[in-house]
Copies of this chain bind each other. A is one copy, B any other.
Amino acid sequence: MSDESWLRTGIGASDADSITLMGRDLATELMGRVTFTEVAFLLVRGRTPSPQETRLLDAVLVSLADHGLTPTVLAARLTHTGAPESIQGAIAAGLLGAGSVFLGVVEDTARFLEELLEEAAPDGSEARLRQAAARAVGERLAAGRRIPGLGHPVHKVEDPRTPRIYAIAEETGQLGAHLRLLRLVGEVHRERAGRRLPINGAGVAGAALADLGFPVELLRGAALLARTAGLLGHLAEETRSPLGMPLYREIEERAVYEPPEAGDG
């Protein structure tokens, strides 16, 4: 117990008269002076963002806030059906499905790009990047594996979020290494595969967040911040026009009971 260095925190503290957040006085330096998006950046990066970084981060969070009645949204609304008094439980249930299948693309793409960037370093020239991209794409095509960040089940030609993020990143001077490399990966893939897969919105969000300096192991967390706003919208709708209970009733009516065979399993 002599070494208490593990019990240091830089996030928040308070005493009788003041509250401090990330080294700033909450009431006088942050409230009314920075937006919620800027505070989220501050919390993760340890400094406030430039207006250009804020603009890109806002666009990314807005792009990730909702994707309709996804499995995670359905899980949240069904949880609200059973425990409407515990809204924290409904939101938590709506986050828990953000794993390898849903939202994982955000993180997977950033991780994939990070590795290629390390491979191409210290040079990092366009040529080296293209070379690394070509190698990785080639290997994955040969192995029949997906390229993280490419392809979308609905937006088969173009994901509308992608050109928008690129436009905002360019306009704000925030087109960093990850976003540039992802575009290169898309080009290389098209050349190799002979067909065009769009860069998807989750992948481009992952690349943009990585360019904004969010650590890869937290990227899914940033996506979940965005998704929490979407869940609020769905839970507001659920209280106005319930979907969970009629969905359950319909499932119960339609479901066919087929007992397991003896010795099954």
A160 to B13 Cα, complex, angstroms: 13
Whether B244 contacts A19 by the Cβ 8 Å rule is no
Whether B46 contacts A75 by the Cβ 8 Å rule is no
Q: Tell which of A44, A70, A88, A215 has the most Cβ of chain B within 10 Å.
A: A88
Whether B88 contacts A27 by the Cβ 8 Å rule is no
Q: Which B residue's beta carbon lies closest to that of A19?
A: B160
Q: Does A31 contact B (CB under 8 A)?
A: yes
Q: Which residues of the partner chain B approach A259 to less than 8 Å between Cβ atoms? A: 10, 20, 22-23
A77 CB to closest chain B CB (Å) equals 9
A215 CB to closest chain B CB (Å) equals 7
Whether B96 contacts A83 by the Cβ 8 Å rule is yes
Q: Which A residues from 110 to 128 make CB contacts under 8 A with B?
A: none
Whether B101 contacts A11 by the Cβ 8 Å rule is no
Q: Tell which of A18, A157, A233, A251 has the most Cβ of chain B within 10 Å.
A: A233
Q: Secondary structure of the A side of the interface?
A: helix
Whether A155 contacts B20 by the Cβ 8 Å rule is no
Q: Which A residues from 204 to 240 make CB contacts under 8 A with B?
A: 213, 215, 217-218, 220-222, 224-226, 228-237, 239
Please state the number of chain copies in the assembly: 4
Within the complex, which residue of B21, B31, B97 is in contact with A89, where a contact is CB–CB below 8 Å? B97
A78 CB to closest chain B CB (Å) equals 4
B-binding segment of A54-62, A132-140, A179-187? A54-62
Interface size on A, residues (CB 8 A): 140
Within the complex, which residue of B30, B96, B225 is in contact with A86, where a contact is CB–CB below 8 Å? B96
A236 to B156 Cα, complex, angstroms: 33
Whether B7 contacts A88 by the Cβ 8 Å rule is no
A92 to B101 Cα, complex, angstroms: 18
Q: Does A81 contact B (CB under 8 A)?
A: yes
Whether B97 contacts A83 by the Cβ 8 Å rule is yes
Q: Does A242 contact B (CB under 8 A)?
A: yes
Whether B14 contacts A47 by the Cβ 8 Å rule is no
Q: Which B residue's beta carbon lies closest to that of A220?
A: B87
